[in-house]
Chains A and B, each alone.
Chain A
Amino acid sequence: MKSANHIRQSNVKNFLEKMPTLFKWLSFLSVLLLPVIALAAGAETKAMSVEYRDVPGIGSRNLVWIVAQQHLLLAGFVLGVPIFGWVCEIVGWKTKEARYDKLAKEFTKLLTSAYATTALFGGILLFLLIGLYPKLMAYLTEMFFPSFLVYCLLFLAETATLYMYWYGWDYMQGNKKAFHLFLGFLLNLFAIGIMIVPNSWATFQASPVVVGDGDAWTRAWMAMQNPTWWPVNIHRLIANVVLGGFIVGAYAGIRYLLAVSREEREHYDWMGYVGNFIGVFGMLPLPFAGYWLMREVYQYNQQMGITLMGGFLAWLFILQAMLIGVLFLGANYYFWMGITYRIPGSENSYKKPIMAMLVVLLLCLGVWMTPHTLVASLAEAQKMGGTHHPLLGVFGVMSAKMTVANIMILVTFMSFIMYWRAGKQETAGWAKAAKAIMNGLLAIAAIAVIVLGVWGYFVPAIIRINYFSVAQVLIVGFIMVTFTPLTALLLKSAKTTTEMVWGKMPIRAGYCLVLNAVMVILLMSLMGYARSSSRVHWHIYGVMRDTSEYAFSPALGYAAAFMSLNTFVYCLLVAFIFWVATLGDKAKAQQVKAEMSGVPGGPPVMAGGAPSSGEQIESGIVENHK
């Protein structure tokens, strides 16, 4: 050993003697720099071990809360609008009515403007999450990386399709229309993909599953298939249509309020009606999707289910009832105003059914909004014998809520049917019998829903959930599925007694549309908080604990303030996006105005403005000039 050491030392000595001077100096410097290198290595190790970073002032959690909510709301709009925009285009194509194609194009114009902002907020959210929650993001990346790649591909495909769909609108008319519709289909297909992939990341956080062995793709796929993934996918898909519909309605409402020409008023009145119709159409199945989601949450984890529905987050569902109530009332109010204002002379004929519907809606809402545990002073609680009212307490449980939700959906559907039939007289020989059957079915359905609701108190919860609630939904669904074609058939041969007049709605109708949009944004902000908060102090429920300084649930008042802030910020963003989107129209309108007054040229058209969507505005201006 001694000789070996000696040989090694002599080798080192020889090597040093043979080393060039510069190299020796470099080696010396390296030795001097060793502490620096060590420090740098330490810094790298430290960076790798950082679990959280904070943002001074606002705090990391609040910042992520705002940005995530804005991104989700924008994404909801961007993913919801192509669905009904495309359907509208198909209707225009099949019926050969140009106004539907024009409307679909106007929807898509709003979509193109909102798309970039959505992506921008998505990027900001990603940077914030990587920077502020590195440990969580490292875990999620490890678990889901293959799905990140799929998401990127879907995003690229969606963007390319959207460009072709929007910029090719006028080019792909006539015999190229079928291909344009195919592009619309692809747009929706990719959009749904873009929604469901990140949904799996978020739902995994709430309901993680045990992921077995396998390659990265297999593991990611296993993690994606968690119990709340599909309930959230379906719930969000429908909610996006509702959000998109009501926001489009609000856009139309504002444009209606600002309209100066008759054509503009007519167009935006009609667009407002379509927006409200889409919102209501989506709203009808939404409570059922929400019910399914909550059922899955409860079944996945009793603790999480109780935190949401019976624990400290239960109050959010009373707020939810209020917001949904306002939404139902607002949507119906708009329908009813449509009857009295758009169909001259119909006011007196519809007074009684409108009052009956209003009373039923209010009674149902009263039940839905009644909490199980009441807010009461000490004296009031003593008189009640606790915070649970002996008589009205029965309204506080799911059997009552489910029943009234179904009745409200039924009433809203009938409100639409009434609007549809208004100003028309059925001429078919079988019309009387058909109407009698419809009335009978409606009465039976309403009674059956109520009977099942009351009966639900006397059977085990699982029977109520698995059979009674499902039966209630099926009954309401049956009414919708049978009444819609039957009414369409009745109206096919009906004669119009009073022509519908567009553009006659009062200004409160425009504000009503705006209110509906604000309500649905607030509702989504509220439920976004509820879904996120149900994880309590876990990043990934039961797997990765939140060990940051923000590992507590904010008080409900504080959360409500943030929801309001998020709603306000989103409204500002949407207003800005729509303002930008309509700049092109304004420029065109000015150009037409200039041409009409003999001034050559006019201001240049804004890039991104609708290629030919200004016809109606132009004709309005022409009329004004006449």
Chain B
Amino acid sequence: MKGPLASGAILLVGIFVFIKFLLPLVTAPLPASLIYLYMALAFSGIMLYGTMSASSLESLMGPVFRFLSGEGQSGTGKMARLAVLVLFPLLVGWQTYTSLAPSDLPPGENRTIHPAPPGEFVGLANPYQNNQANINMGKGLYAAYCSPCHGANYDGKGPAAKGFNPPPANFADPGTIAQLQESYLFWRIKKGGVGLPVEAMPWKSAMPRWEAELPDEFIWKIIMGEYDGAHQSPRTWEEDD
């Protein structure tokens, strides 16, 4: 097999094999939604490149058109064309059926990890001074109350973490607390999973409602300790904040 059509097909298969089978060897498998997205991109790229000029269009699509039109075909070629014309609609039908058929599997989750905080928590500032004594106290409180789940290294890998799905947040990840203001963390710690708003469905969080056990002072200091321990900074709008 030669030519742009074959190259395109091989490239598509190669990309699929890479993201579906090779990538999971070094990291977690990708969900089907992401694989679909990347494959659609790769297919679009091949089509765009293949139709850039009259000659490339002919090289890419010419064999396809000739095969489907059945011009001058006989024997195996004719049978192959018939097989494609029968099997392709069946494949589309099967795909449609499987995507629409009732299933006992739960639907794919579209979880909102960072829902908007209630108005009363917006704009709150940490009332405690950001000094070493307060940070140390926060770290101590963190070790006592938070590290069993969120880990001593602030990486979401505490001894109890394996018991939760989804797992506890990894504060060392720049996509978590580094994206948020301190007031947001104060809300999440104080109100916990049960305090999540409607938009945060499916409300999957085992975070306790710490306001029942910890005073606000402890929560603010834990926040300081968390940021310091995870080597992250809270989102602010003023550099000297």
Q: CB-CB contacts of B185-221 with A at 8 A, as 1s and 0s?
A: 0000000000000010000000000000000000000
Once A302-B122, A373-B111, A376-B109 are accepted as A-B contacts, the answer to whether A366 and B33 lie under 8 Å apart by CB is no
Q: Tell me if A457 counts as interface (CB < 8 A to partner B).
A: yes
> A362 in the interface, Cβ–Cβ < 8 Å?
yes
Q: How far is the CA of A375 from the CA of B32 in the complex (A)?
A: 9
Q: Is the CB of A354 within 8 A of B52?
A: yes
Q: Is the C-beta of A5 less than 8 angstroms from some C-beta in chain B? A: no
Contact A366–B38 (Cβ < 8 Å)? yes
**A385 / chain B contacts, CB cutoff of 8 Å:** 28, 166-167
Closest to A380 in B: B31
In angstroms, how far is the closest chain A Cβ from the Cβ of B114? Answer: 4
Contacting residues, chain A, for B110 (C-beta < 8 A) = 315, 373, 375
CB of B20 within 8 Å of the partner chain: no
CB-CB under 8 A from A389, the residues of chain B are 27-28, 30-31, 34
Verify B52–A336 contact, CB threshold 8 A.
yes
Q: A302-B123, A378-B109, A388-B175 are in contact. Are A463 and B30 (CB under 8 A)?
A: no
Question: Is B48 a contact of A358 with CB atoms below 8 Å?
Answer: yes
Measured between C-beta atoms, what is the minimum distance from A396 to chain B in Å? 6
A 318-361 to B, binary, CB cutoff 8 A, 1 in contact else 0: 00000000000100010011001100000100000011001100
Interface locus among B94-102, B135-143, B176-184: B176-184
Looking at A230-238, A306-314, A558-566, the stretch in contact with chain B turns out to be: A306-314
Contacts of B241 in A (CB 8 A): 462
Given A388-B175, A462-B239, check contact A314 B53 (CB 8 Å): no
Residues in B with CB closer than 8 Å to A333 are 48, 52
Q: Does A605 contact B (CB under 8 A)?
A: no
- Known interface pairs A382-B165, A462-B236; A392-B34 also in contact (CB < 8 Å): yes
Contact B34–A370 (Cβ < 8 Å): yes
From known contacts A302-B117, A311-B114, infer whether A397 and B174 are also in contact, taking CB-CB under 8 Å: yes
A612 at the B interface (CB under 8 A): no
Q: Identify which of A302, A366, A393 contacts B175 (C-beta below 8 A).
A: A393
Judge whether A340 and B179 touch: CB under 8 Å.
no
Determine if A45 is an interface residue (Cβ-Cβ < 8 Å). Answer: no
**9-residue interface stretch from B39-47, B70-78, B80-88, B144-152:** B39-47
State the CA gap A307–B199 with chains docked (Å): 9
Q: A333-B48, A366-B41 are in contact. Are A375 and B53 (CB under 8 A)?
A: no
Known contacts being A302-B183, A303-B122, A373-B111, is A378 close to B105, with CB within 8 Å?
yes
Pick the contact of A301 from B29, B42, B122 — CB < 8 Å?
A: B122
Query: Given A381-B165, A387-B111, does the pair A362, B45 have CB atoms closer than 8 Å?
Result: yes
Do B116 and A377 touch (CB < 8 A)?
no
- A393-409 vs B, CB cutoff 8 Å, 1 = contact: the mask equals 11011010000000000
Do B112 and A329 touch (CB < 8 A)? no
From B49, B174, B179, A394 is in contact (CB under 8 Å) with B174
Instruction: Tell me, yes or no, whether B37 is within 8 Å of chain A by CB.
Output: yes
A312 contacts B112, C-beta separation under 8 Å: yes
A457 to B173, CA, bound (A): 9
What's the least CB distance linking B225 to chain A, in Å? Answer: 17
**In the complex, are the beta carbons of B175 and A462 less than 8 A apart?**
no
Question: Which chain B residues border A311 with CB–CB below 8 Å?
Answer: 112, 114-116, 199
- Give the CA-CA distance A383 to B233 in the complex, in Å: 30
| Interface check A299, CB cutoff 8 A | yes
**Residues A508 and B48 in contact, CB atoms below 8 Å apart:** no
Q: Contacts A311-B114, A366-B41, A506-B54: A354 and B32 contacting too (C-beta < 8 A)?
A: no
* A387-B119 in contact (CB<8A): no
Q: Does A386 contact B (CB under 8 A)?
A: yes
B37, B109, B118, B239: which contacts A369 (Cβ < 8 A)? B37
Give chain A interface residues in 262-316, CB to chain B under 8 Å: 298-299, 301-304, 306-307, 310-312, 314-315
Write out the residue numbers on chain A whose beta carbons fall within 8 Å of the beta carbon of B181: 302
Q: Within 8 Å CB of A396, what residues of B?
A: 175
- Decide if B28 touches A394 in the complex (CB within 8 Å): no
Q: Is B3 an interface residue (CB 8 A)?
A: no
Tell me if A491 is interfacial: C-beta within 8 Å of chain B: no
Tell me which residues across on chain B come within 8 A of A87, comparing CB atoms. none
Cα separation A336 to B53 with both chains bound (whole Å):
9
With a cutoff of 8 Å between Cβ atoms, the chain B residues found around residue A303 in the complex are 116-119, 122
Residue of B nearest to A347 (CB): B53
B108 x A376 contact (CB < 8 A): yes
Most-contacted residue by chain B among A307, A387, A459, A536 (CB, 10 A): A387
B130 within 8 A of A: no
Q: Which of A514-555 contact B (CB under 8 A)?
A: 536, 542
Interface pair B49/A380, CB less than 8 Å apart: no
Q: Report the separation of the CA atoms of residues A109 and B67 in the bound assembly, to the nearest whole angstrom.
A: 47
Residues of A within 8 A of B112 (CB): 310-312, 314, 373
**Are B113's CB and A372's CB within 8 A?**
yes
- Residue B127, interface by CB 8 Å: no
Beyond A347-B53, A354-B52, A461-B179, whether A306 also contacts B117 by CB under 8 A is: yes
| A354-B113 contact, Cβ under 8 Å, with A378-B106, A390-B28, A397-B174 | no
- Asked if A25 is at the interface of the complex by the 8 Å CB criterion, the answer is no
Residues of A within 8 Å of B234, CB to CB, are 460-461
Shortest Cβ distance from residue B18 to the other chain A in the assembled complex, whole angstroms: 13
B 5-32 to A, binary, CB cutoff 8 A, 1 in contact else 0: 0000000000000000001001111111
Given contacts A386-B166, A462-B239, contact A375 B33 (CB under 8 A): yes
A466 at interface by CB-CB < 8 Å: yes
Give B29's nearest chain A residue, CB to CB: A383
Is the pair B166, A508 in contact by a Cβ cutoff of 8 Å?
A: no
User: Which residues in A have their C-beta under 8 angstroms from that of B26?
Assistant: 391
User: Does chain A have a CB within 8 A of B132?
Assistant: no
Q: Which residues on the B side are within 8 Å of A376 (C-beta)?
A: 31, 33, 108-109
Whether the pair B167, A358 counts as a contact (CB closer than 8 A) is no
How far apart are the CA atoms of A186 and B33 in the complex, in Å? 51
A310-B41 in contact (CB<8A)? no
Chain B residues with CB below 8 A from A372, complex form = 113, 175
Q: Which partner residue on chain A sits nearest B106 by CB separation?
A: A378
Kindly provide the distance from the CB of A422 to the nearest chain B CB, expressed in whole angstroms: 13
Q: Contact: B237 with A462, CB < 8 Å?
A: yes
Q: How far apart are the CA atoms of A354 and B234 in the complex, in Å? A: 42
Contacts of A377 in B (CB 8 A): 31-32, 105-109
Contact between B114 and A329 (Cβ–Cβ < 8 Å)? no
User: Ordered nearest first, which 9 A-B pairs have the shortest CB separation?
Assistant: A460-B233, A310-B114, A386-B166, A340-B53, A376-B31, A307-B116, A391-B27, A461-B235, A312-B199
Known: A314-B114, A378-B109. 9 other contacts (CB 8 A): A302-B117, A306-B117, A340-B53, A340-B54, A381-B165, A394-B174, A461-B179, A462-B238, A506-B57
Q: Which B residues contact A (CB, under 8 angstroms)?
A: 23, 26-34, 37-38, 41-42, 44-45, 48-49, 51-57, 105-119, 122-123, 165-167, 173-175, 178-179, 181, 183-184, 199, 233-239, 241
Can you show 18 pairs from A to B with CB atoms below 8 A apart? A298-B237, A303-B122, A310-B116, A312-B199, A340-B53, A347-B53, A358-B45, A358-B49, A362-B44, A362-B45, A372-B113, A373-B111, A374-B33, A375-B108, A384-B31, A386-B166, A397-B175, A461-B236
